[in-house]
Structure formats: C-alpha cells, structure tokens
Amino acid sequence: MPATRTLRSEWIDEGLRALAAGGPDAVRVEPLAKGLGVSKGGFYWHFDNRGVFLDALLDSWEQQSLDEVIERVESSGGDGRARLWQLFSLASAAGDLLRIDLAIRDWARREEAVAKRLRRVDNRRMDYLRLLFGDFCSTDDEVEARALLVGSLWIGSHFMAADHGARSRAEVLELAVRRLLA
C-alpha cells in the first residue's frame, strides 16, 4: 500500500494554527510535522524552504480573511448597510482568523516584507469599507471617517482590556456599529 502524502493545505492549516498561537517563531517544520503526525520530509515535497512556506501562509491568510469574506458578503446581497451588517457578523465569528490577523500585525512590526503585505491587505479592506459606506454616506469625508472608525474598531477593540459595566464587549461593539451605520 503506497504512503499517503500530507496535503499542502494541511501543512498550511497547521502553520496558521502555530502562527496564531505563537507568532512566526512558532512556525517550525519539526513541530508542525509532529502536530500532523507525519515526518518532516513531506514538508519539502510541497515547500522548498521555510521562507516559501511563510509566504504561502500569508497568501492563505489574505485569501481567507479578505477575498473569501468579501465574496461571502457580496453573495448575501443587499444595500451597503445590509452588506456591512453581514461583514460585522462574519468578523465577530472569525475567531481563528482574528488570532492569525493579530499575529501577522505583530510580525509586521519586525519584518518589512510582512508589513508591506499587511499594508496591502488593510488598503484593500479600507477600499471595500469605502465602497459599502459610499452607498449611503453623503460625503467623501463621512465615508473616509466611518471606514477608518470601523477598521480601527475591529482591530483596536481586541487590544482593549476595559470592562463595560453590565454590558458585554459584544454588546458594546454592536452599539458602536449601530451608531456607525446610522
């Protein structure tokens, strides 16, 4: 019976889990192989080296956190407000993707190539937010301000350690979103 190869996507998924848990230093071939229950030789069937693998992780993160999200929001239809609600719903349920995003933001502080990739992704996200807010905001200034507030809210709220009295973080985020969509 021939040996079964570990799929490229399995290596990438395991790498993204490691990245989310411990940053780029946690993305090492031997621990990944152990996590997959395979030898590290299979890694080199799919990736020439760790650098190529890290690029593949960034590609996958961009595809999952941006392209697939926009695809899902656009397929839901509706006006700009409806699509923004769909976007917020997806973002609030994106636990693993959020942890990966935060790890990449930290990584980007130390590595220029990752910072360039993050800048491109954030610019694409802002462009999409501008498109959605442009559907119902009356001025370019209003569109830009709301797009920045939403982007900052989505990222920055995860760095806040504040309590919100009797309200949960999710309730306060929903209040903020409601105000931004008014």
Mind listing the domains of the chain with CATH numbers? 50-180 (1.10.357)
First-residue to last-residue Cα distance in the chain: 63
Higher-pLDDT residue of 120 and 2 is: 120
- Whether pTM exceeds 0.75: yes
Q: List, for residues 116-126, the tens digit of each pLDDT value.
A: 999 999 999 99
What is the per-residue pLDDT for 110?
Answer: 96
**Percent of the chain predicted with pLDDT > 70:** 98
Find all residues with CB under 8 Å of 70, minimum gap 6, and list them.
Answer: 128
Q: H or E element: which one contains 15? A: helix 8-22
Mean pLDDT of the chain: 93
What is the per-residue pLDDT for 81?
Answer: 96
What is the per-residue pLDDT for 4?
Answer: 60
The answer to whether residues 66 and 45 touch, using CB atoms and an 8 Å cutoff, is no
What is the per-residue pLDDT for 2?
Answer: 45
Q: List, for residues 126-174, the tens digit of each pLDDT value.
A: 999 999 999 999 999 999 999 999 999 988 888 888 999 999 988 998 8
What's the mean pLDDT in 64-82? 96
